[in-house]
């Protein structure tokens, strides 16, 4: 029938944004609510041409939906989607850049301040009564005027740099390629950047190329007063090396929004109390940004079914 709403597979809840408003236009199928996900995929079969996705989407799932033409990822990072398999099958992939940039940068700077000024430790100090029994808490280093090294000077990295300028910080960065359109100094390797920096902020994509880019050597170069902040992907940092570095005082402190193997947290990380701050992957989790991410995801789905240009195809499509 000409006017029938197109089927769209939705693999996971789109955060807390209700999907009813998109159901006017699309016939949404919630994979995570299906009693038998395999049966749902089989029933949808070649008739399902689009999927709205959070996190992973495998080649096997693509093969179960042979009519698929679009995977719309609700997130800027798409490292859990098998992009090579999608391209091989002629499937387009979109993501949600820009709409989350400023909120992620806010949390990164919040973590720098919290780790540098030991804000969480201070909260515990007051609540445990130590202010009364032990007097004033120990001093911390400064944030303002310090050196911040950003690994991943892309959209979010630049937004972090803009905020750091307001703190009179010196800023340098490392990417695979130096940028000609930013004023900050380029460092040729994560280790060189870490050796220069007081704060090392990681805001990288996931995947094999960035796996453990921050390793024991980089942490050693950051040094005993240095502070690591990760808002990229957990896999960017060698977590075993990080635990050791925090235990042994090789670095001063860390604040992590993302963990390798999240949401599981290794006991070694949980055991570190004073100089580690953990967040449950919250950097884009504001009402406004999450709504904008879901809207952009479905705007891409709409464009796909209308045959118009996709709003935010991933760079691998040349977009
Ligand atoms: P972007 O604009 O594409 O920036 C990524 C930057 O990383 C680019 O400057 C790129 O420069 C650099 N890069 C990529 N691979 C590299 C490598 N192997 N070595 C060194 N540098 C490399 O992306 P964005 O929008 O800023 O987002 C960045 C990442 O942040 C996402 O992919 C995601 O993993 C993470 N993120 C996390 C949250 C959260 O909730 N915590 C939210 C949003 C995003 P070159 O290409 O020159 O190397
Ligand atoms: C998402 C993120 O919240 O966009 C990204 O890459 O990491 C976050 O904004 C995350 O992908 C959860 O699905």
Cis peptide before 207 (omega within 30 of 0): no
Task: Please tell me the predicted confidence (pLDDT) of residue 1.
Answer: 46
Cβ–ligand 2 distance for 100 under 6 Å, the answer yes
Task: Please tell me the predicted confidence (pLDDT) of residue 291.
Answer: 96
What are the domain boundaries of the chain?
A: 7-97+288-317, 101-278
Q: pLDDT band for position 3 (50/70/90)? A: low
Ligand 1 atom closest to the Cα of residue 285 is 40
Dist CA 53 CA 35 (whole Å):
19
Average pLDDT score over residue span 264-293: 97
Task: Please tell me the predicted confidence (pLDDT) of residue 18.
Answer: 87
Task: Answer for the pair 46, 65: CB distance below 8 angstroms, yes or no.
Answer: yes
Average pLDDT score over residue span 277-298: 97
Ligand 1 atom closest to the Cα of residue 206 is 34
User: Active site includes 209?
Assistant: no
Any idea which of 13-22, 141-150, 198-207 has the lowest mean pLDDT? 13-22
Cβ–ligand 1 distance for 289 under 6 Å, the answer no
pLDDT in tens, 179-217: 999 999 999 999 999 999 999 999 999 999 999 999 999
Q: pLDDT band for position 274 (50/70/90)? A: confident
Task: Answer for the pair 215, 238: CB distance below 8 angstroms, yes or no.
Answer: yes
Dist CA 143 CA 163 (whole Å):
12
Ligand 2 center from residue 75 Cα (angstroms): 4
Ligand 2 atom closest to the Cα of residue 96 is 4
Q: In Å, what is the CA distance from 25 to each residue of 70, 133, 268?
A: 16, 63, 48
Same CATH topology for 7-97+288-317 and 101-278: the answer is yes
Give the pairing type, strands 185-186 and 7-10: unpaired
pLDDT in tens, 81-123: 999 999 999 999 999 999 999 999 999 999 999 999 999 999 9
pTM comes to 0.97
Q: What is the residue whose two structure tokens read 């999450």?
A: 290
Percent of the chain past pLDDT 90, that is, above it, reads 94
Q: Which candidate in 179, 262, 291, 295 is catalytic? A: 262
Task: Please tell me the predicted confidence (pLDDT) of residue 58.
Answer: 97
- 3.40.50.720, 3.90.380.10, 3.40.190.10, 3.30.420.40: CATH of 101-278: 3.40.50.720
pLDDT at 223 over 60: yes
3-class DSSP state for residue 7?
Answer: strand
Work out the end-to-end distance of the chain between its first and last CA atoms, rounded to an integer number of angstroms: 33
User: Active site includes 262?
Assistant: yes
Domain 7-97+288-317: CATH architecture, name and number where available: 3-Layer(aba) Sandwich (3.40)
pLDDT in tens, 48-77: 999 999 989 999 999 999 999 999 999 999
Ligand 1 center from residue 235 Cα (angstroms): 13
């Amino acid at each position: 029938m000409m006017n029938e709403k197109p089927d769209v597979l939705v693999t996971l809840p789109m955060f807390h944004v209700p999907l009813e408003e998109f159901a006017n236009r699309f016939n949404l199928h919630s994979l995570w609510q299906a009693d038998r996900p395999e049966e749902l995929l089989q029933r949808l079969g070649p008739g399902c041409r689009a999927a709205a996705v959070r996190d992973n989407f495998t080649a096997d799932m693509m093969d179960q939906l042979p009519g698929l033409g679009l995977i719309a990822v609700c997130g800027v990072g798409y490292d859990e989607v098998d992009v090579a398999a999608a391209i091989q099958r002629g499937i387009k992939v979109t993501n949600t850049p820009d709409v989350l940039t400023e909120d992620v940068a806010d949390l990164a700077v919040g973590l720098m301040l919290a780790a540098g000024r030991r804000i969480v430790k201070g909260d515990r100090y007051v609540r445990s009564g130590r202010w009364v029994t032990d007097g004033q808490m120990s001093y911390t280093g400064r944030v303002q005027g310090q050196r911040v090294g950003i690994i991943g000077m892309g959209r979010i990295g630049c937004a972090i740099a803009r905020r750091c300028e307001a703190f009179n910080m010196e800023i340098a960065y490392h990417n695979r390629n130096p940028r000609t359109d930013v004023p900050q100094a380029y460092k040729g390797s994560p280790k060189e950047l870490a050796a220069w920096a007081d704060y090392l902020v990681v805001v990288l994509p996931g995947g094999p190329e960035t796996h453990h880019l921050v390793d024991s050597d980089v942490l050693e170069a950051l040094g005993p007063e240095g502070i690591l902040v990760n808002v990229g992907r957990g896999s960017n940092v060698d977590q075993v090396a990080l635990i050791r570095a925090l235990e042994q005082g090789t670095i001063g402190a860390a604040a992590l929004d993302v963990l390798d193997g999240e949401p599981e947290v290794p006991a070694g990380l949980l055991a570190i109390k004073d100089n580690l701050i953990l967040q449950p992957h919250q950097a884009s989790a504001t009402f406004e940004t999450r709504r904008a991410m879901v809207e952009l995801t479905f705007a891409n789905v709409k464009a796909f079914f209308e045959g118009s240009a996709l709003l935010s195809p991933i760079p691998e499509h040349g977009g």
